[in-house]
Amino acid sequence: MGCGKNNPRLKQLLDEFITPRAEETPFGAIPCCDAVCKNTKWVKDTTAPEEMKKFTALSGFFKTIRGPI
């Protein structure tokens, strides 16, 4: 299936996916990015030393479950 600008099949598939997830459904009630981004108190400085420790610890974990490349 192509993804061209005038692709009625793609539009149909997208409509089938989006329609049941409209705003009045529980899925559609999830706050959009605009609402989430208005309050940035939860954003952390990811380069802070304590955050870098967390990153280093987790990156080691993911390297072990990933295995050799």
Residuewise pLDDT in 10s, the chain (69 residues): 455 567 888 888 888 887 776 766 666 666 665 666 677 777 778 889 998 998 888 888 887 777 666
Q: Tokens 């609402």 — which residue?
A: 35
- Name the helix (H) or strand (E) containing 53: helix 49-66
Q: Can you give the pTM of this predicted structure?
A: 0.36
The pLDDT value given to residue 49: 92
- Name the helix (H) or strand (E) containing 52: helix 49-66
Q: Tokens 């706050």 — which residue?
A: 31
